[in-house]
A and B are shown apart, each in its own frame.
Chain A
Amino acid sequence: MATTTAIDLTSQTKPRKLALQVVHEWLTTVDHKKLGIMYIVYALIFLVIAGLMAVVMRIQLAVPHSHFVSPQVFNRLFTMHGTTMVFFVGMPILLGFGQYLVPLMIGARDMAFPRLNAFSFWISAFGGILLYFSYLGGDGLYGMGSAPDVGWFAYAPLTAKVFSPGHSTDYWTFAILLSGIGSTGTGINLMATILSMRCKGMTMNRLPLLPWLFLIVSFLILVTISPLTAAQIMLTLDRYLGAHFFDTQAGGSAILWMHFFWIFGHPEVYILVMPAFAFVNEIIPVFSRKAMFGYTAMVAATVAIGFISLSVWAHHMFTVGLGAEGNIFFVIATMTISVPTGIKIFNWIGTMWGGKIVFKVPMLFCTAFLFQFMIAGLTGIMLSAAPFTWQLGSSYFVVAHFHYVLVGAIVFALFGAFYYWYPKIIGRMLNETLGKWHFWLFVLGFHLTFDFMHVPGLLGMPRRIYTYEPGRGWEVWNLIVSVGGIIQAIATMIFVVNLIWSYYRGKVAGPDPWDAWTLEWSTSSPPPEYNFAIEPVVSSRRPLWDLKHPEDLDTDYE
């Protein structure tokens, strides 16, 4: 392997710091790598909390007429599980990886606005803490334990003061508001960084796909968080200042809230899934030992998804009575999005085709991602047919479909990203054996849970019910789903153990453990504060390939 020139060997040993110094350093840092790590750790903590909530819900639903938890507790659980997973796990963990990787991959020393970066992190973090403080402060002086119970999309008028007295809904509103401010800040920051901080020679056409996708994610964040934020402010005006936007008792509109929420809510799915695409875009070529097939088509498809995703939101509203014309428009818009999505899947297959695929743990997760994302896409096509959704909507089929996207695609890609970049971030490899246990148990648990979850939906089981009637043919399926959930929890514990164990005992990684091609692998692991001792200069999409293969330069083909 060729040696690279970007590593500074003069400062490899550092003096030990006092604990207080370390804490101070982390609390006041504006370094994109430290902030990225904080985003990720913060999100992992919430992942464990919201994951345990899912386990409690699955225990409740394992058998009909169960009394494990009360309906009030169950309704809070699914509200908090959904809100946490979307806003305080998905967003921070994906943006955290983005934060960490984008400057390294474009050869920059930090983000464009380091202080904005720190501000965004802390305000998002405060949002999550505020959400969970509702368990203590939800109803003011009485009613301890009253977290929000309006569902993660909080349909009006359930959020009106008359149906949601107390303050639990306000905690939800302000937590989302704060998280939105943080995401917007990060969106602006990522966009500015990618557009203006690229190293010499890195034209947009040579930009690796990960930063390309984060650029589009940032655009989506800027466009779609605004209506969400506006809706939260309108809701607060309704609740406290006598406005009547969504207050149906005074002539407001319940549908207006749905439009505001889903014009955010559907692009949000793409805000979450595009970073997953971004990870897969980096991992699949390296482990197939081939250049990305159809780079330009991949970028074009992503841009297309970004735009089309802004015009499909009302497919969440096929059952609210929009009328035939409205339904037909959103059917065609939604079906159209399957075309660029299909292009991405085919290009990934094209990349693997003719390669020498090395099935290390990151690639295992990405292969599972590919297969599961295809299935999630196909159930998505089923749901895009409005008549089918008149049956499937709000049923467990939908729950299974979006968990197939969120877990089967996003979480799998995320685990792949952990195994792939942990050596860069920490300097040590994650344990491969524990990783394989984690992978196979998670695959087993995932398929037990989410494959079988489609069935009760087809048999008429609606979502968000704390218990169900016996004799409707739902019992067996729910039991299997619950067992799978527990297996997933065990697999995730193995992952957490691996993260901690490898931090102390993992094999030292070196700068480039995967024999990869993008710039982050040209600096030491973990990278120094300034990232690169010398500003890198690139002349192709895979600068390290060019270094390692001077006889077969990428430059000749791009």
Chain B
Amino acid sequence: MALAIWALPALQARISARPLAALASRLSPTDMFDAAATPARLIFGNAMFVLGLTGGIFLFVGGLMLWVVVRYRSRPSDGNTEPIQIYGSNQIELSWTVIPILLVFMLFLTTARVILATESIPKPAGALDVIVIGHQFWWEYRYPSLGIVTANELHIPVSDPAHPTPVYLKMSSADTDHSYWVPRLAGKMDLIPNRVNTMWMDPETPGLYLGQCAQYCGTQHAKMLLRVYADTPADFAAWVKQEQAPSAESATLTAEQLAGKSVFEHNACMNCHTIAGTGAKGLFGPDLTHMGSRETLGSGAFTNTPENLKHWIDDPDSLKPGALMPPMHLNEKDLNAVTAYLTTLK
């Protein structure tokens, strides 16, 4: 009996029904039941077990309530007499105490098993470490083993179940609490200053997985979006190569782009942003070394087009009210130049 209980979540993980998942993927790109990695799939199994149990209780107790309400409602034919007074029954009390205790025990054991399977399993040799630092209101990613620093768009390799290469995120915060939630890959984990939390994910199918910050962190909590790109091994290697290379050499820039570089280096931009190979080494804002290759700006808030970029530099608050980047008050010429320069950073 006990053994059978311990085997339950594994069983559910296996029957995580495909048709259900197909329906779910049409509902939403952030549907937690459309699991695409092991942690999310373990949770799916746990969730199905809990839903089954509570669903059963709902039908039984809800049915009982409905029956009582219909059967024992007062009718005009009842007359004025009071019903028979019943004060209780120890046997009945005992039965509706003991049965729930057994159900709770079963639920507890299956849940504990999923907790251990997620939080207490050894890290495989092929795991990739990524450091995630939450900022108001964007994400910083560092790949210590690859020497890459980037922001807002996480690239990770897909994991082959035969030779798992999961990604371990070591997470902390530079300011307030944040929470990392990509529902299709894993449950959320909070990013808390002065503390390092760890979570892992191993997507099997390449693709873009969406999510967003799930712990209120200030004015723009709503637009602290998450984008996780699971790449095939070849794509990931290409991405790593590109990120490790410096961005465009000055020699290849046009006059306007060079002017833009000068604007960047002679204004407050460089106090907060880093562009590798230049004097800009600021750490407060996202690393811009390869920002031209990112699909979005403002932590996923809008697409990375020259118009949006220009608008953003001119007045970040109008696109993302409460963002901490100040408006730069550049003249039109400088604004165009710096936009032209930044788009070359691929």
B101 (CB) vs chain A CBs: closest residue:
A339
Q: Determine whether the beta carbon of B89 is less than 8 Å from that of A294.
A: yes
Q: Determine whether the beta carbon of A382 is less than 8 Å from that of B50.
A: yes
A550 within 8 A of B: no
Q: Determine whether the beta carbon of A375 is less than 8 Å from that of B58.
A: yes
How many angstroms from the CA of A379 to the CA of B54 in the assembled complex? Answer: 8
Q: Determine whether the beta carbon of B85 is less than 8 Å from that of A557.
A: yes
Q: Determine whether the beta carbon of B104 is less than 8 Å from that of A321.
A: no
Q: Determine whether the beta carbon of B115 is less than 8 Å from that of A324.
A: yes
How many angstroms from the CA of A318 to the CA of B330 in the assembled complex? Answer: 47
Give the residues in chain B near A420, CB-CB below 8 Å. Answer: none
CB contact under 8 A between A387 and B216, given known A355-B83, A466-B222:
no
Quote the shortest CB–CB distance from B244 to chain A (angstroms).
31
How many angstroms from the CA of A367 to the CA of B97 in the assembled complex? Answer: 22
A374 (CB) vs chain B CBs: closest residue:
B61
Query: Which of B218, B222, B225 has the most A CB atoms < 10 Å from its CB?
Result: B222
Q: Determine whether the beta carbon of A321 is less than 8 Å from that of B78.
A: no
Give the residues in chain B near A157, CB-CB below 8 Å. Answer: 175-177, 193
B194 (CB) vs chain A CBs: closest residue:
A248
Q: Determine whether the beta carbon of B100 is less than 8 Å from that of A338.
A: yes
- Report A313-343 residues with CB < 8 Å from chain B CB: 319-321, 323-324, 327-328, 331-332, 335-336, 338-339, 342-343
Stretch from B64-72, B278-286, B304-312 forming part of the interface with A: B64-72
Q: Determine whether the beta carbon of A473 is less than 8 Å from that of B28.
A: yes
A27 within 8 A of B: no
- Report B212-230 residues with CB < 8 Å from chain A CB: 212-222, 225
Give the residues in chain B near A328, CB-CB below 8 Å. Answer: 112, 115-116
Quote the shortest CB–CB distance from A244 to chain B (angstroms).
11
Q: Determine whether the beta carbon of A324 is less than 8 Å from that of B177.
A: no
Give the residues in chain B near A346, CB-CB below 8 Å. Answer: 61, 96
Quote the shortest CB–CB distance from B207 to chain A (angstroms).
15
A382 (CB) vs chain B CBs: closest residue:
B50
A468 within 8 A of B: yes
CB contact under 8 A between A253 and B194, given known A295-B87, A387-B42, A390-B187:
yes
How many angstroms from the CA of A325 to the CA of B198 in the assembled complex? Answer: 15
A459 (CB) vs chain B CBs: closest residue:
B28
B138 within 8 A of A: no
Stretch from A262-270, A391-399, A494-502 forming part of the interface with B: A391-399
- Report B37-85 residues with CB < 8 Å from chain A CB: 40, 42-43, 46-47, 50-51, 53-54, 57-58, 61-62, 64-65, 68-69, 72-75, 78, 82-85
Q: Determine whether the beta carbon of B187 is less than 8 Å from that of A331.
A: no
Q: Determine whether the beta carbon of B88 is less than 8 Å from that of A462.
A: no
Quote the shortest CB–CB distance from A534 to chain B (angstroms).
27
How many angstroms from the CA of A255 to the CA of B136 in the assembled complex? Answer: 19
Give the residues in chain A near B72, CB-CB below 8 Å. Answer: 288, 352-357
A385 within 8 A of B: yes
Residue of A296, A343, A381 touching B97 (CB-CB under 8 A): A343
Q: Determine whether the beta carbon of A72 is less than 8 Å from that of B194.
A: no
Q: Determine whether the beta carbon of A473 is less than 8 Å from that of B27.
A: yes
Q: Determine whether the beta carbon of A345 is less than 8 Å from that of B108.
A: no
A-B contact count (CB 8 A): 277
Q: Determine whether the beta carbon of A343 is less than 8 Å from that of B190.
A: no
How many angstroms from the CA of A332 to the CA of B115 in the assembled complex? Answer: 12
A378 (CB) vs chain B CBs: closest residue:
B54
Q: Determine whether the beta carbon of B101 is less than 8 Å from that of A319.
A: no
Q: Determine whether the beta carbon of A460 is less than 8 Å from that of B211.
A: yes
How many angstroms from the CA of A347 to the CA of B88 in the assembled complex? Answer: 8
Give the residues in chain B near A319, CB-CB below 8 Å. Answer: 179, 187-190, 214-215
Interface string of B123-165 (1 = CB under 8 A from A): 0000000000000100000000000000000000000000000
Give the residues in chain A near B89, CB-CB below 8 Å. Answer: 294
Interface string of B5-40 (1 = CB under 8 A from A): 000000000000000000000011111110000001
Q: Determine whether the beta carbon of B28 is less than 8 Å from that of A467.
A: no
Q: Determine whether the beta carbon of A356 is less than 8 Å from that of B78.
A: yes
Give the residues in chain B near A345, CB-CB below 8 Å. Answer: 61
Q: Determine whether the beta carbon of B50 is less than 8 Å from that of A465.
A: no
Quote the shortest CB–CB distance from A544 to chain B (angstroms).
13
A75 within 8 A of B: yes
Quote the shortest CB–CB distance from B198 to chain A (angstroms).
8
Give the residues in chain B near A558, CB-CB below 8 Å. Answer: 87
Q: Determine whether the beta carbon of A335 is less than 8 Å from that of B107.
A: yes
B295 within 8 A of A: no
Q: Determine whether the beta carbon of B321 is less than 8 Å from that of A72.
A: yes
Q: Determine whether the beta carbon of B179 is less than 8 Å from that of A353.
A: no
How many angstroms from the CA of A389 to the CA of B50 in the assembled complex? Answer: 11
How many angstroms from the CA of A252 to the CA of B86 in the assembled complex? Answer: 58
Quote the shortest CB–CB distance from A461 to chain B (angstroms).
8
Residue of A354, A394, A474 touching B84 (CB-CB under 8 A): A354
How many angstroms from the CA of A39 to the CA of B282 in the assembled complex? Answer: 55
How many angstroms from the CA of A388 to the CA of B110 in the assembled complex? Answer: 12
Residue of B27, B61, B83, B111 touching A290 (CB-CB under 8 A): B83
Give the residues in chain B near A370, CB-CB below 8 Å. Answer: 65
A132 within 8 A of B: no
Query: Which of B42, B190, B219, B322 has the most A CB atoms < 10 Å from its CB?
Result: B190
B114 within 8 A of A: yes
Q: Determine whether the beta carbon of A394 is less than 8 Å from that of B46.
A: no
Q: Determine whether the beta carbon of A460 is less than 8 Å from that of B32.
A: yes
Residue of A149, A353, A387, A468 touching B114 (CB-CB under 8 A): A387
Q: Determine whether the beta carbon of B107 is less than 8 Å from that of A462.
A: no
Q: Determine whether the beta carbon of A467 is less than 8 Å from that of B175.
A: no
Quote the shortest CB–CB distance from A523 to chain B (angstroms).
23
Give the residues in chain A near B177, CB-CB below 8 Å. Answer: 155-158, 254
How many angstroms from the CA of A249 to the CA of B173 in the assembled complex? Answer: 11
B24 (CB) vs chain A CBs: closest residue:
A459
A389 (CB) vs chain B CBs: closest residue:
B187
Give the residues in chain A near B222, CB-CB below 8 Å. Answer: 71, 464-468
How many angstroms from the CA of A455 to the CA of B215 in the assembled complex? Answer: 19
Interface string of A518-558 (1 = CB under 8 A from B): 00000000000000000000000000000001001010011
7 interchain pairs (CB within 8 A)?
A72-B322, A336-B104, A343-B100, A387-B111, A390-B43, A391-B40, A466-B222
Which B residues contact A (CB, under 8 angstroms)?
Answer: 27-33, 40, 42-43, 46-47, 50-51, 53-54, 57-58, 61-62, 64-65, 68-69, 72-75, 78, 82-89, 92-93, 96-97, 100-101, 104, 107-108, 111-112, 114-116, 118-120, 136, 175-177, 179, 181, 183, 186-190, 192-195, 197-198, 210-222, 225, 321-322
Given A349-B65, A391-B183, 10 other A-B residues pairs in contact with their CB atoms under 8 A: A71-B322, A289-B83, A297-B93, A319-B189, A328-B112, A345-B61, A387-B187, A388-B50, A390-B189, A462-B213
